[in-house]
Amino acid sequence: MAGKVIILCAPSGSGKTTLAKHLLNQEMFNLRFSTSATTRKKRENETNGIDYHFITIKEFENKISQGEFIEYEKVYDDVYYGTLKSEIKELIKNYNIIFDVDVIGALSLKKYFTEQALTIFINPPSLEELRKRLIERGLNSKDDLEERLNKAKKEIEMKLSFDHSVTNDKLDFTKSKISEIVKVFLKN
């Protein structure tokens, strides 16, 4: 079972990382995470090459001009994120792949992988709850927090473009719901 693509998408703080880890832990799904490249600063809890390939703006722009990305974007002001063709090429022969990207990236990847791909939008229960989770996670400055919340509002408006939209209220319930969606997709 290989060659399929799961694209998880959600406003920052909605639980994508938590849910992606839950799916990756289920051996029967044979999933591997697509590590994106980014120019943002590495956080203390992150590992280069695992969470992201952390590169400079110059390196990123060089890769753009060499056509090395399937998709890339300036997700936040002056911060690039992108999916490298080299990351996927070998992985997809032996595994199913899970992506954690923003809305525009998700729709670009869906266009690229077409029916091989399933898009899932993770909805926060509310913007107030999203703010609370971002503050509790404690990784963002105040300006950064407001930028993420503003972006969240726009992203939520696009959820109907996804194959599935799941509200992450009670975590255990969301985990089972997403596992079931993925199970059905990978089986067919």
Kindly provide the b/e burial profile for residues 146-178, where b requires at least 16 CB atoms within 10 angstroms of the residue's own CB.
Answer: eebbebbeebbeebeebeebbbbeeeeebbebb
Which of 31, 105, 134, 185 is close enough to bind ligand 5GP by CB under 6 A?
Answer: 105
Backbone angles phi, psi at 73, to 5 degrees: -160, 155
Q: Does 44 bind ligand ADP (CB under 6 A)?
A: no
Beta partners for residue 71, in sequence order: 83
Q: One-letter amino acid identity for 81? A: Y
Q: Does 40 bind ligand 5GP (CB under 6 A)?
A: yes
Q: Does 10 bind ligand ADP (CB under 6 A)?
A: yes
Name the binder of 61 from ligand 5GP, ligand ADP, none, CB < 5-8 A by kind: none
Q: How far is the CB of 61 from ligand ADP (least distance, A)?
A: 26
User: Do residues 98 and 6 lie in contact, with contact meaning Cβ atoms separated by under 8 Å?
Assistant: yes
Interface with ligand 5GP (CB under 6 A): 12, 36, 40, 71, 73, 75, 81-83, 100-102, 104-105
Given the rule CB under 6 A, which residues bind ligand ADP? 10, 12-18, 133, 136-137, 168, 171, 174
